[in-house]
Structures are given as structure tokens and as C-alpha cells.
Amino acid sequence: MSARSAAIRIPATKYPVERLTLPNGLRVVLAPDRSAPVVGVAVVYDVGIRSEPEGRTGFAHLFEHLMFQGSENLEKLAHFRYVQGSGGTFNGSTHLDYTDYFETLPSNALERALFLEADRMRGPRLTEENLRNQVDVVKEEIRVNVLNRPYGGFPWLKLPPVMFETFPNAHDGYGSFDDLEAATVSDAAEFFERYYANGNAVLAVAGDFDVAEATKLVEEHFGDVPARKAPARPDFDEPDLTAERRDSYTDRLAPLPAFASAWRVPDPIDDLAGYLPYVVLAEVLTDGDAARLVERLVLRDRSVTSIGGYLGFMGEPFAVRDPTALLLQAHLPPGGDVDKVMTTIDEECQRLANDGLAPGELARTQARMATHLLRDTDAPLGRSLQMAVLEQQRGEPELVNDLPRLIAEVTEAQILAAAASLTTQRRATVEVIPGGGNK
């Protein structure tokens, strides 16, 4: 085997995984690790931005907030006090295809975390006061993170409506003020009843615990949550592009021009083998000073000030369903020429497809990627979050052990074929025009 194509050896993790399903439909993943007295607890619901019904934009994110506003048994802020009082931390987040809630605690507080998550799975405290308060909080987030921030929503809110046509894939996931203000307590209760069913959820626990004891605690706290089945998942499918799409907008706060381009990639769930080369390709192109596009555009041509590449509009390569995309985004110096940069990217991708990789280029990239994957799952919380999503989307939480190895098995030929597929007619691009500049 030549130095150019020699495979690297990645040490495999062997985190044990136990799976069970409660009679009410809740799926449970347990990953014991007695090396440190810490546990990570994650509950992932199969509802994200793409599941929002029309007229309910921003509802997935709004509901994430509502789940922290108390429950039938606990008053507002009680969740905060109980976790922090145990020496733990907590949070939640909304994604394209799921919403998660999680805690890291000392292992002797595991039962407390299970009680808290089971309690709000039975029902959050949905009141007019809580709803109006959290609508205002989300609106303020939109003002801070999108409307009054340079490059706000770029590209994760701005590029999907250029690339896609269907409501699930193209709509504003932060939500319109009109939709948020129109939300009622009845709407919130209906959303909870439909999407927050235990049959639509996965509980994952990783860290310092005994499996038999943890199983008993899970059954005690979650077993009597009334059974509700998972709703039918909306159809997100739509065809690939056959002609280039491009749009632009003026950002009054942006100091420099920028653009992001995206290409559809194989289904990350049903065609993982076809998808992985694109995950590696994004890193080959943009990760580190030796990466092809960084070396050419930033260091040599100085036609961009930065460039990055990643999979998925929220940068979650192994936590997203189809359709998704490989994204390249760049910021340019004052007066930068977007068309020239895009042409150079096309040239570099074609050169890669025709001439292949330099000796050691692929191995270096794969080693760095594997290191990041191993680091991300080293802590119990990172492990529980990833396992919960892998169980939910694939029914395969143990894939957390195999992903570094699978990345290392991607071949040069697969990388070159992926690069060759990044053609102009399959590309969607959104351009940011700074300040009051003219298009």
C-alpha cells in the first residue's frame, strides 16, 4: 500500500451499551463507566425545527423554553435549584431534527435527575403567564442573535430557503414574531401531546452507575408516565438541484462581504457509507492551514479572510436526517469578489478530483477528525447525548464506538468522487452584502 493511500489505525472505544424499552414506549440507553463519579443524563424528543407545522414557526424552540417553566409537581425554577443544588449543570437545545434536555451531576444524584426528567415528561406547567413570558424571551433571542447581530442567522437561516422549496426544510426555524405572538396555551398543550410522547423520546444515561440499579430507577420514575405513541414523522424529502440557485441580501451590521454555498449529500441515515466521504471531504478542504481551500484562498490568494466547511446547516454531521448538505462558508476582505472566490473553489475541487490527494493528506485529516470524535464522547454527557440521538435516528447507539473507525476507513477514491460531485448546477449560494452596499 502506498504512502498516499495508507490507512491509519484509530483506537476503538468499547463503551458498553445496554438498551431497553419500557412498556409505555420510552426507549432507554444505559452506558456504564465507573472511572469517575459523574453521570450524564439526556432526554431527546424526536421533534425539531423541521417538524413544526405551518403557522407554528419557532414552536420547537419555544417549547424547549416552556419545558423549564415548572410542571404539575414542581414550581417554576425548581428544576434549576434541584440540579444546581446537587452540584450539577443542565441545559436544553433545539436542532433541525430533535430537541434535547440534559444534566451532568455527581453520580449520587442520578435519581434526582431521573425524577426531574420524568416529571416534566408527564407534563410541563403550561400557563398563559409562562407562555407569554417565554414568547418574549424567544423574541428577544431573535433580536439579539439575528436582527441585531452581524451575520445573524447566516447561513443556517438564510441558505435553506435558497436551496429548498418545502416548508419543513426552508422555513425560518427561529420563528416569525407573528407566529410566536399568535401562540395560545391550547396550541402549546396540543404540541406537547403530539410530539412529547414517551414513544417519541429516548432517555440515555452514561457514567458511574450500576446497570441493574439504574434500570430499577428508570422503571420507577418513567414507568408510570402515561403511554403515548410517536406521531407520524413529516416527509422532508425533495429532489436535488438540477440548476444553480443563488440569492443575496444586505446586512446593515456586517462589516465584510460573505457567502455560503451548499450541495446535497447522500442520506446520512440510510446511506452512511455514501455520506461519510463528504464528512471527510469538508475537513480536507477547510480544516487547518494545510487544508486546500485555506492554503489557496486565505494564505496564498488572500481572497478570503476565513473559510470553513461542515455537514448540516447546524454543523451536526451525525445528528441530522436527509435532506442535508455539505456547506462551505467564507468571509471576504473589503471589496472582495465573491464570483472569483467561487470560481477558485470550483477549480480546487476539480483539481482534487483529477489529481488526487497529497501523500499523508488524508491520514492527517482522518486522525484529527477521529481525535475530535473521541474527545466529544469522553465525558459522560457527550456520550449520553450522542447515544440518545443515534438510538433515536438509527436504533444504533453503539455506533458511538465505531464512528472514528468508519472515518478512518474512508478511501481516497471515495473522497475524489465526492469532490467531483460538487458541481455548479447542484449548488445553492447565499451572499451577504455588507452595510448599505449595492447588489
Q: Which residues pair with 45 in a beta bridge?
A: 99, 201
Predicted local confidence at residue 9, as pLDDT: 79
DSSP conformation class of 268? T
Predicted local confidence at residue 21, as pLDDT: 98
Residues 6+ apart with CB under 8 A from 241: 163, 264, 425, 426, 427, 428
DSSP conformation class of 426? G
* Beta carbons within 10 angstroms of residue 437's beta carbon: 13
* Secondary element (H or E) of residue 330: strand 325-331
Which residue stretches of 24-173 are H helix? Answer: 59-66, 78-85, 110-122, 128-142, 160-163, 167-170
Please state the separation of Cα 289 from the chain's center in Å. 25
Q: What domains appear along the chain, each with residue ranges and CATH number?
A: 18-222 (3.30.830.10), 245-434 (3.30.830.10)
Q: What's the CA gap between 80 and 70, in Å, rounded?
A: 10
DSSP conformation class of 139? H
Assigned C-alpha cell, 299: 494564505
Predicted local confidence at residue 179, as pLDDT: 96
Which residues of the chain have a pLDDT value below 50? Answer: 1-5, 437-439
Predicted local confidence at residue 234, as pLDDT: 87
* Beta carbons within 10 angstroms of residue 243's beta carbon: 8
Packed helices 272-286 and 412-420: angle between N→C axes, nearest 10 degrees? 80
27-32 and 201-207 as β-strands: parallel, antiparallel, unpaired?
parallel
Predicted local confidence at residue 1, as pLDDT: 36
Predicted local confidence at residue 439, as pLDDT: 41
pTM, rounded to two decimals: 0.95
Q: Does residue 405 come out as left (phi exceeding 0), alpha (psi in the -120 to 50 range) or beta?
A: alpha
Q: What's the CA gap between 246 and 307, in Å, rounded?
A: 19
